[in-house]
Structure 1
């Protein structure tokens, strides 16, 4: 049997390999990368026009650096969340170079966008677009427009159509008129001088006023609101509940009409998406309505301007 000998006096060394992680803007970033264009433009424009430096404190990140990072993210991807921005500063060499290896948190980006940017990001790009036109000759008289349809990340069974909304709203208001007639008949039978007029156009405010009047009547005559199984509702409460149901539906139709705007349809899970014919679907059928976006761009001399 072997015996083990322990040596008390010894030094342990951890071997490691020396790697060069230094970033070089000239070597590691391509000469035609969008990062170079963003840095060049930002360094020549009047940043004070876009960023309010009065709110910046000595412990915060450099405002010019934060502005460059946001401009690069918007120019590169169109939209990037603050958490994505924070992650890019740790993984993308272009963002790491601009940030000088600093790692702003997503709260830092949120504070900068909310407190320090004096213009919306779309207006800033519009101003930068005009700056590029002043530096490069672009024939703005010729604008080539083209577009395509993109399917939205929304369920195709969540559609809302303008024609159906108008038709259902009209039917619902007819039911409201019948409900108001029942309410007037109830007050007439109770010998109460209360008669509500019948409006031709839907009005949620008027229905709320009628509901308030019914509540005051029930309170004055000690008629209790009952709920649950095994409890019999009074006739006026039944009319009140019916009117309430109609008001909720009309309020829903009003929201739908506001979301529709000038469109004929939208998706409940993505109100910005509109239902349109798609060229291809999962089952290889054409002319199928699906939620999507009709994205169009305007190009002048190879530059996207709109």
Structure 2
């Protein structure tokens, strides 16, 4: 028998058992700090006319007050950036600020989702501009300078859902060739069966034509008492095999036509998020290489730290986004800024021409801006950007010979027609530098646009001036800093909603929260400065 000896260790102590009454009566004025962002959110939400854009009259019996839901949403965006609906529901139960706004009600996560989807999806853009106009009326915001930058956000799309235009077109033509062979077999079968019917061969794919043939084949099988058989151990008739192959080709062509409709004028898209386009991202979680991922190109314009404008594009290049971005800004505020500092991704002939027409100073660098600043060496002295010019603005080759005009052409492919000059050097034959300069037997040729070169010279003067250096520093601090704050500090580096409307809703709501947070800080700073000034005067 096993005997266990146990020793009891006891310790004398006084148990801490508080016996006091707790005061659970809460007061907004007493328990919420006067410099808390919650007060600023309530001020902004009640200062703009939300009812102008959101219909609060059509509330169900289980619905909550729309203004209350809007306040909760923008408070969460101001505090956390992105906030899920489930976290919103928890905050209304645990955070005293959300509890006061909600009036001690506890909306579920689906209540927030219904409000966002049904009431905020359409007017969120107008609400964003209304918030900005309210901020303009309360504090001084320098809107003469609009710092522009863009970033690519990864879409909420599944892996391996690629649709490529070239692959779709190639597979579509392959499938159509199979369909032509199938129609030839059908014609031979009808000829053997002494049926006086032949189907023509079309050059272009036509789904309706294939379906029409399949309907005729069904009638033929029905008239000749040929039954459709399926499964193991069943031997198909020859005409049924041709019919099944024809149906399969028609369905595949129909699938490719749907893919082309989804693509529109793009070269790629995703099956799970049709509006997303495949772009190069800085990080790839597929296989840690720089392959394409579905995403959106988000353009923002920042003035004095506030996000003034947003443009969501499916184009991975920033060049074509500048003009629609500025037109959207003009439509929202009625005026355009006088300066729009941006990086080299926006420097193009069309964008410079647009700026000149709208009295916007050129502070957008261009591709090759830093290459031109490189020292001329034996390797790069033959490049066009390093060729010298004489007093008449004529290009001079490294051997000292002048380029002559061969012809002028007008490029009308872009928004503004551009005059290009083709210059040729007739002194290349026998030149000792020809092997390093050109491989052409006719001589070195270059194409240039004098108006674009004049724009480049103006950009260099503006950017390298004292004001230009300050503006470029301001752009990197404000425009790029806004994305850095969202991605790094708030962890918002990937989209959660799908579709262009869902992405727009998500981005605009986060921008509203970002601007309110900035406005709150500016308001507190102004208040402290005023108090300090009063103390000095007294």
Shorter-normalised TM range: 0.7 to 0.9
| Equivalent in the alignment of 2:238 | 235
Contact 2:280-2:291 within 8 A present in 1 as well? yes
| Equivalent in the alignment of 1:85 | 88
The answer on 1:300 being equivalent to 2:298 is no
From 7, 29, 35, the equivalent of 1:31 is 35
Q: Distance in 2 between the 1:259 and 1:140 partners?
A: 39
* Matches for 1:67-86 after TM superposition, within 5 Å: 67-73=70-76, 82-86=85-89
- For residue 69 of structure 1, report the CA deviation from its aligned partner: 2.4
Q: Distance in 2 between the 1:191 and 1:31 partners?
A: 93
Contact 2:53-2:126 within 8 A present in 1 as well? no
| Equivalent in the alignment of 1:206 | 209
Equivalent residue of 1:202, what SS?
coil
From 108, 111, 115, the equivalent of 1:108 is 111
Gaps of 5+ in 1: 1-13
Q: Distance in 2 between the 1:228 and 1:32 partners?
A: 71
Q: Distance in 1 between the 2:20 and 2:165 partners?
A: 67
> Once superposed, what is the RMSD of the aligned Cα atoms?
3.6
Equivalent residue of 1:53, what SS?
coil
* Matches for 1:1-306 after TM superposition, within 5 Å: 22=26, 24=28, 28=32, 31=35, 33=37, 35-56=38-59, 60-73=63-76, 82-113=85-116, 119-152=122-155, 157-281=160-284, 287-305=290-308, 306=310
Q: Distance in 1 between the 2:44 and 2:296 partners?
A: 31
- For residue 222 of structure 1, report the CA deviation from its aligned partner: 1.8
Q: Distance in 1 between the 2:289 and 2:106 partners?
A: 48
Contact 1:143-1:299 within 8 A present in 2 as well? yes
Q: Distance in 1 between the 2:229 and 2:246 partners?
A: 16
- For residue 129 of structure 1, report the CA deviation from its aligned partner: 3.4
Contact 1:259-1:271 within 8 A present in 2 as well? yes
Gaps of 5+ in 2: 1-16, 311-538
So what's the TM-score if we normalise by structure 2? Answer: 0.47
Range that drifts further, 133-142 or 39-48: 133-142
Distance 1:219 1:50, change over 3 A: same
- For residue 231 of structure 1, report the CA deviation from its aligned partner: 0.8
So what's the TM-score if we normalise by structure 1? Answer: 0.76
Q: Which has the larger radius of gyration?
A: 2
Q: Distance in 2 between the 1:118 and 1:282 partners?
A: 30
